[in-house]
Amino acid sequence: MRVDGTPYRSIWLDGGGTVTIVDQTLLPFEFATRPLHTLEDAAEAIAAMRVRGAPLIGATAAYGLCLALRADPSDAALDAACERLLATRPTAVNLRWALDDVHSHVIGRPPDERMQAAYARAARICDEDVAMNRAIGEHALGLFEKHWKEKGGKGRLNVLTHCNAGWLATVDWGTALSPVFQASDAGLPVHVWVDETRPRNQGAALTAWELRSHGVPHTVIVDNAGGHLMQRGEVDLCIVGTDRTTAGGDVCNKIGTYLKALAAHDNGVPFYVALPGPTIDWSLDDGRDIPIEERAADEVTTLRGVAEDGRIGSFRITPDGSGAANHAFDVTPRHLVTALITERGVCAANRGGLEGLYPE
């Protein structure tokens, strides 16, 4: 995508083997890039959420292995690097998928060939992610157009999304936002209700920033406003991404997604989930078996923003000494999902639907 007219991906390879990312912890107040020189740089970027979103976490982990092999191409170093990266974020299945993918492509090679093979595979993972996300948008665009026609082709198509599943969550295009960008480019009058997405406010900070940069009309709303808007008929469809979807169709996504799905179900609003194939966890059927990451309490008890004097900082919003729970994800049961939208097409949120698209 473009930032001030310049094309960017969320992660890319610079000369000399250095990996560069967009540091998402600084947005929306500052757009800055950050070099990753070592395995530990990559692990820190994932754990600190300088990069986030399941596909981008996977891509960063793949390049993290490259950086590790550049320093030491031995079997022991490779295994240690996989273990270090796997421990950074437990919920996103793309992390393990990318590590397994790169590992399988290098383990049978002589040590002096491993670094080059790893870089080639990581680059391919990134390119494939871009292609998959573009295809997701193309498939979902047909659904957007269908719902627009059902409205009589009048007014605007109101889409509600949660968290950030745009190009910042992937290598480019995004999952849930890919059809939004494509619909806007095609002239469809799309408007997005953007959940703020506490506690890290990825909707208000990242999704709103992406939509503004692309010129897509949008309105930031508090997390609990979605049900009210649906009751008033002001939401035509919901679309979200996912960090892990089971083979049975249960969807794990940013905390609060489940509540949106419940409200959508109660109000007859279609609830779609956009995902690439690597986000499917074929080893699990029941979403209750997905490990749910718990993050630091200070993400709940503080807010980051711009003060009256223009300084950017963090501010405590709870009484001193109050505890806080910070579950990063929840699971939406398959029966609340209207359809899954993948790079291979649209299917029901169940094993039969997914196996129909991914028979291998």
Distance CA 53, CA 55 (A): 6
Q: Are 264 and 231 in contact (CB under 8 A)?
A: no
Residue by residue, DSSP assigns 11-32 as EEE-GGG-EEEE-GGGTTT---
- Contact at 8 Å (CB) between 151 and 236? yes
Reading the block at residue 216, the tokens are 């897509």
Could you list the beta-strand ranges (E) of the chain. Answer: 2-3, 6-7, 11-13, 19-22, 33-36, 157-161, 190-195, 218-221, 237-240, 244-246, 251-254, 271-274, 280-281, 302-306, 312-316, 329-332, 339-342, 345-347
Closest CA to 22 of 139, 221, 130, 171: 171
Which listed residue (41, 101, 236, 243) is catalytic?
243
Both tokens of residue 210? 């992406």
Structure tokens at 308: 């009256």
C-alpha–C-alpha distance, residues 15 and 4, integer Å: 23
Residues 6+ apart with CB under 8 A from 129: 55, 58, 59, 170, 171, 172, 276
Strand 6-7 and strand 157-161: pairing? unpaired
Q: Which of 198, 178, 174, 194 has the alpha carbon at shortest distance from 186? A: 178
**Distance (Å, whole) CA 19 – CA 145:** 38
Is 243 known to be catalytic?
yes
Q: Would you please indicate which residues are annotated as catalytic (active-site) residues?
A: 243
